[in-house]
């Protein structure tokens, strides 16, 4: 008996010694190689897994780290990434999604340690730099050569402002202007040197400079202190760069104003009406062959007529006949007209023939599957173009979240007019309830491309289900079309009354 106890005791001591030994004496470092220089950070090994000090790596790569003692949580923010770790747990969050790195987060000497084998690989997918783990040389490599959008320069010329974005090689890009004097450059396959580009924020010419790095796309958005009237761009060689010149002979500064659109002395008078679909894009088709594009156009024309009679408004239609207009073109028409309010008119469709009613959408992440389904259908024209032109994800299930361009724009524009758009949607809802005798499905939110790119309060109205026999009949009738137009017109007037004299 005694002998066995003693053996157990000795064995226990050995285990404790072994554990102590295995943690402390193998403690060592890993190398971090970053643009030609190498630094050592603390690390240790456990069961053939290398744990490196994420606290020290964070110091090298930048970003901010916060500890929450309660819950043993550690958060790390770097650019658009926000990570949340819990000590002892293999799960972590990044921007509200949960991931599993198989091995738990460790805590040693006031620092957190992460498994290099499983975490670095993940980080590479979301980090703006190429980051890799090389077990054979025990090195975390940060590859700054990975940037292909390296720098930016802004200078004044005799006839205006010159913006240059420097690349390592020619890349496909797109430049567009949104209201509020934002000039936006989207670079396909671009990897931004964010600190370098951000350091070019020049308060003499800009109010704001934003950089967005997403997988497969990068965007630089600059809010200029001058009106963007005439501008053009080209790709130059030696060195490769995107040149954007903004012609402006009078170097006039705009007054500091960060609320660009609706304010006390801003008139709400330019109304853009967007009849959905058109031309080769029929939209939804009813059981008796009624086409959404035709219904949308008729209602839009009725509405335009009403608004035109009212001299306080100016009406612009994104199409006034059966014509193919891309979603981007619709947004361009609205933005070029400096639109104050944007209404997109559609008819809904469902495989379930009994589904009926109208509803009103404003732009925000979809809250439920049916709202997401509507957005997918209405966005499909955009997706088809994207899939044809580029190699973007064609999975319509994830349009709001996986399409990099949509993501970037969502972030930029959504918050700016979301409250007003929601308010406008409520007004439209109220007026439709008053006028129409069919099922009210109410106000909902979803990610619509066409609303997304319009720099003004905007809503999308699904005027009824064309897939439902009864509503198809209604949607064809002049009376119903006029009622819808009337309700929309009333909502526009209410919106003007509320926001113009606020």
- Residues lying near Zn ion in the complex (CB under 5 A) are found at 276, 283, 346, 378
| Residue 242 · residue 172 · CB < 8 Å | no
| 185/375 Cα distance (integer angstroms) | 25
Between the CA of residue 459 and those of 97, 330, 405, 418, 421, what are the distances in Å?
29, 14, 20, 10, 6
Place of tokens 């100016």: 314
Residue closer to Zn ion (CB basis): 154 or 460: 460
Q: Is 448 exposed, middle or buried (0-12, 13-18, 19+ CB in 10 A)?
A: buried
Q: How far is the CB of 137 from Zn ion (least distance, A)?
A: 56
E-only strand ranges, 340-394: 341-348, 358-363
Nearest position to Zn ion, beta carbon: 346
Q: Are 54 and 41 in contact (CB under 8 A)?
A: no
Asked if 69 contacts 54 with a C-beta cutoff of 8 angstroms, the reply is: no
Which residues on neighbouring strands pair with residue 33, listed in sequence order? 38, 141
CB of 361 to Zn ion, least distance (A): 11
- Is residue 200 a contact partner of residue 152, using CB atoms and an 8 Å limit? yes
Smallest distance from Zn ion to CB 71, Å:
46
Between CA 389 and CA 406 the distance in angstroms is 16
Find the DSSP H helices in 214-326.
292-309
**Alpha-carbon distance 433 to 359, whole Å?**
10
Least distance from Zn ion to the Cβ atom of residue 280, Å: 14
Q: Least distance (Å) from Zn ion to the CB of residue 398? A: 20
Find the shortest distance in angstroms from Cβ 145 to Zn ion. Answer: 46
Would you say 180 or 464 has its CB closer to Zn ion? Answer: 464
**In angstroms, how far is CA 427 from the centroid of its own chain?**
26
Residue (149 or 327) nearer to Zn ion, CB: 327
**Shortest CB 82 distance to Zn ion, Å:** 35
């Amino acid at each position: 008996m005694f002998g066995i106890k003693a053996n157990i005791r000795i064995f226990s001591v050995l285990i404790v010694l072994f554990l102590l030994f295995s943690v402390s004496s193998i403690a060592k470092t890993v190398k971090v190689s970053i643009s030609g220089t190498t630094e050592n950070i603390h690390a240790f090994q456990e069961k053939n897994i290398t744990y490196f000090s994420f606290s020290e790596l964070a110091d090298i790569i930048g970003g901010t780290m916060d500890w929450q003692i309660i819950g043993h949580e550690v958060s790390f923010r770097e650019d658009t990434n926000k990570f949340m770790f819990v000590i002892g747990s293999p799960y972590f969050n990044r921007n509200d999604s949960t991931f599993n790195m198989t091995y738990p987060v460790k805590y040693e000497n006031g620092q957190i340690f992460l498994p290099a084998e499983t975490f670095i690989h993940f980080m590479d997918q979301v980090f703006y730099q190429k980051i890799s783990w090389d077990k054979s040389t025990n090195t975390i490599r940060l590859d700054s050569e990975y940037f292909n959008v390296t720098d930016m320069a802004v200078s004044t010329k005799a006839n205006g402002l010159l913006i240059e974005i420097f690349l390592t090689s020619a890349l496909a890009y797109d430049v567009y202007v949104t209201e509020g004097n934002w000039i936006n450059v989207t670079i396909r396959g671009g990897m931004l040197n964010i600190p370098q580009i951000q350091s070019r924020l020049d308060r003499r010419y800009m109010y704001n400079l934003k950089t967005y790095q997403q997988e497969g796309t990068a965007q630089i958005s600059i809010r200029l202190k001058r009106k963007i009237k005439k501008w053009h761009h080209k790709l130059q060689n030696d060195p490769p760069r995107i040149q954007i010149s903004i012609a402006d002979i009078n170097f006039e500064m705009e007054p500091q104003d960060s609320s660009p659109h609706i304010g006390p002395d801003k008139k709400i008078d330019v109304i853009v009406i967007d009849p959905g679909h058109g031309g080769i894009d029929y939209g939804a088709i009813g059981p008796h062959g009624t086409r959404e594009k035709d219904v949308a156009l008729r209602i839009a024309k009725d509405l335009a007529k009403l608004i035109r009679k009212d001299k306080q408004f100016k009406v612009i239609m994104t199409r006034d006949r059966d014509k193919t207009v891309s979603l981007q073109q619709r947004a361009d028409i609205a933005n070029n007209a400096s639109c104050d309010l944007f209404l997109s008119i559609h008819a809904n469709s469902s495989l379930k023939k009994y589904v009926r009613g109208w509803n009103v959408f404003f732009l925000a992440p979809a809250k439920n599957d049916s709202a997401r389904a509507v957005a997918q259908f209405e966005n499909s024209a955009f997706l088809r173009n994207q899939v044809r032109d580029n190699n973007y994800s064609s999975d319509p299930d994830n349009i709001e979240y996986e399409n990099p361009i949509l993501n970037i724009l969502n972030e930029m524009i959504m918050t700016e007019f979301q409250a007003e758009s929601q308010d406008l949607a409520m007004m439209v809802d109220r007026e439709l309830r008053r006028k129409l005798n069919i099922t009210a499905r109410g106000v909902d939110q979803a990610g619509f491309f066409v609303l997304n790119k319009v720099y003004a309060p905007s809503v999308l109205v699904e005027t009824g289900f064309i897939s439902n026999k009864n509503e198809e009949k209604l949607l064809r009738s002049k009376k119903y079309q006029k009622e819808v137009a009337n309700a929309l017109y009333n909502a526009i007037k209410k919106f003007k009354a509320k926001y113009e004299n606020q």
